[in-house]
């Protein structure tokens, strides 16, 4: 069994490759829900949905989110009503949010609803939302750094920061808000115990992985299993391929390079997979008590995804004696 910690984007690409090079029923994906929010009264879980859609070949390849062959009639009608259309929900995608919201309303938890959607989409990987409790990512931002005339507060929800303000605000800090002591979804701790390796996918460590690690029981398990935790770098040649990671690193006072990412994850991971273009940082990474494996980590095509997964499952697992 292999457990992968993932957000949307790079983590999902890695999972797609992994599902093609091992028995997918032996993969557990622990997915970030810090981006979840309620809009139009609907519960939306973007990273869970990107994982479901990608593993069932339904993802929109152009955007990397939402479903392929989508239509936008509801958004068009909503625009006419001058409703909120900054977060685009396609007609087919809306069915997922309607279904999830209704099941949650009837008392089922997020994990159960996710497994029902996975079954309908014929996804064999076990997708577990990191928690069924609410944990929400918030970003403290500098209001002078962007057009904030419509902005009511300097504390933005993840989707306001990411989609509404297009990652333009300068971030000063990130927090994970919850009203309880969030518990890992049932099955996560057992999966971490039983897994040959735990892989931190190439997702944004601050926005996608940290929310998962904010759940005390998960972080503690990773620290105790550090020897079998492998992190894949989301940085290639000193930059993030997509998304605000590079900009965020600078805003948080760090350098945009693999060393900053490694430093951030070195308490929970012992092996770091980096792109060949960053191999000159090997010495700095080994000084952080990390074993380093180098390959091409860019996953543009299905072949690339499988190649990265195969590299991790053969060379890297051998490196940790599995
Ligand atoms: N991202 C955007 O940049 N613009 C959107 O309008 C948008 C809509 C959307 C709808 C459903 C969904 O599951 C994801 C959506 N995303 C959109 C992506 C989402 O904001 C991010 O991918 C994740 O939250 C970050 O991993």
Measured CA to CA in angstroms, residue 138 lies from 81, 142, 147, 171, 180 at distances of 29, 13, 19, 10, 16
**Which H or E run includes 191?**
helix 188-194
Question: Which residues, 6+ apart, have CB-to-CB distance to 214 below 8 Å?
Answer: 34, 135, 176, 182
Q: Which atom of ligand 1 is nearest to the CA of 9?
A: 26
Structure token digits, residue 229: 């935790």
Q: Domains of the chain (ranges plus CATH)?
A: 42-129 (1.10.8.240), 137-174 (no CATH), 188-321 (3.40.50.10680)
SS3 29: strand
Sign of CA dihedral 270, 206, 174, 191: negative
Pick the residue whose CA is nearest to atom 12 on ligand 1: 46
Pick the residue whose CA is nearest to atom 21 on ligand 1: 46
Enter the DSSP assignment of 185: P
Structure token digits, residue 76: 């068009």
pLDDT of 61 reads: 92
**Which H or E run includes 230?**
strand 229-232
Extract the residue ranges of the chain whose pLDDT is less than 50.
none
Enter the DSSP assignment of 187: T
One-character DSSP codes across 249-273: HHHTT--SSHHHHHHHHTTT-SEEE
- Regarding the beta carbon of 159 and ligand 1, being less than 6 Å apart is answered yes
Angle among Cα 307, 320, 288 to the nearest 5 degrees reads: 95
Q: Rounded CA gap, 125 and 28, in Å?
A: 6
Q: Rounded CA gap, 21 and 15, in Å?
A: 10
- Regarding the beta carbon of 60 and ligand 1, being less than 6 Å apart is answered no
**Which H or E run includes 91?**
helix 91-105
Locate the DSSP E strands across 33-158: 37-39, 42-44, 126-129, 136-142, 155-157
Q: How far is the CA of 37 from the centre of ligand 1 (A)?
A: 11
- Regarding the beta carbon of 66 and ligand 1, being less than 6 Å apart is answered yes
> pTM value?
0.97
């Amino acid at each position: 069994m292999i457990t992968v910690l993932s957000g949307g984007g790079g983590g999902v690409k890695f999972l797609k490759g992994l599902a093609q090079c091992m028995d997918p029923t032996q993969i557990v994906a622990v997915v970030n829900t810090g981006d979840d929010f309620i809009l139009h009264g609907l519960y939306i879980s973007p990273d869970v949905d990107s994982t479901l859609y990608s593993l069932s070949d339904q993802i929109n390849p152009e955007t990397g989110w939402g479903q392929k062959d989508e239509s936008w009639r509801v958004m068009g009608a909503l625009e006419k009503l001058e409703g909120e259309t900054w977060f685009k929900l396609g007609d087919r995608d809306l069915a997922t949010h309607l279904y999830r919201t209704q099941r949650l309303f009837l008392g089922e938890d997020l994990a159960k609803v996710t497994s029902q959607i996975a079954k309908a989409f014929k996804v064999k990987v076990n997708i577990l939302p990191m928690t069924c409790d609410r944990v929400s990512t918030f970003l403290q931002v500098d209001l002078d750094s962007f057009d904030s005339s419509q902005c009511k507060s300097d504390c933005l929800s993840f989707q306001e920061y990411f989609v509404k303000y297009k990652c333009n605000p300068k971030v000063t800090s990130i927090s994970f808000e919850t009203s309880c002591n969030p518990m890992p979804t049932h099955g996560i701790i057992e999966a971490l115990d039983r897994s040959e390796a735990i892989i931190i996918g190439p997702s944004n460590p601050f926005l996608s992985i940290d929310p998962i690690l904010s759940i005390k029981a998960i972080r503690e398990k990773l620290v105790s299993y550090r020897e079998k935790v492998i992190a894949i770098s989301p940085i290639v040649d000193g930059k993030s391929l997509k998304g605000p990671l590079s900009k965020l690193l600078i805003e948080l006072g760090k350098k945009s390079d693999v060393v900053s990412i490694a430093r951030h994850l070195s308490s929970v991971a012992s092996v770091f997979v980096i792109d060949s273009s960053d191999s000159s940082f090997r010495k700095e990474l080994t000084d952080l008590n990390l074993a380093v494996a180098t390959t091409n980590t860019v996953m543009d095509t299905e072949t690339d995804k499988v190649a990265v997964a195969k590299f991790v499952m053969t060379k890297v697992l051998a490196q940790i004696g599995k």
